[in-house]
Structure 1
Amino acid sequence: MEQLFARYPLVVILILANYLVVLLSIFHLIFRSNHTLTQRLNWMLLLWILPVFGPAAYWYFWNKKTGD
């Protein structure tokens, strides 16, 4: 990991930041949202399969749904 970080520090930071956003989104989805079980499972699948667009879509549609 040290060698990878030494060679590509920006890439490693972006990957770690992406997984942090995914974990934050999943935490919010499980504990803070009022989606049905099927909707939650679909969002979880989307969050893990689409690395950047999944979390962006989740937060966009959540803000649109709540009217913020």
Structure 2
Amino acid sequence: KRLMPPGFVGQALMAAMIGANLVMLADLAGRTLFLPLDLPAGIFVAVLGTPFFLYLLINQRH
């Protein structure tokens, strides 16, 4: 929250920029890490997003 501008519009823009960068890096990883294969970006987004989602889910209960 410290890096995000105040208000809904600023937070939405920051979330969009972070999400776009995440998908771009996932696509880059899918194309370069396993070179003979061209893996979809969704695989890498799921691998990165699942632990973060579980962390949020567990901490929300407390």
TM range (shorter): 0.3 to 0.5
- Greater relative contact order (Cα < 8 A, sep 6+): 1
> TM-score, normalized by length of structure 1?
0.41
Greater helix content: 1
> TM-score, normalized by length of structure 2?
0.44
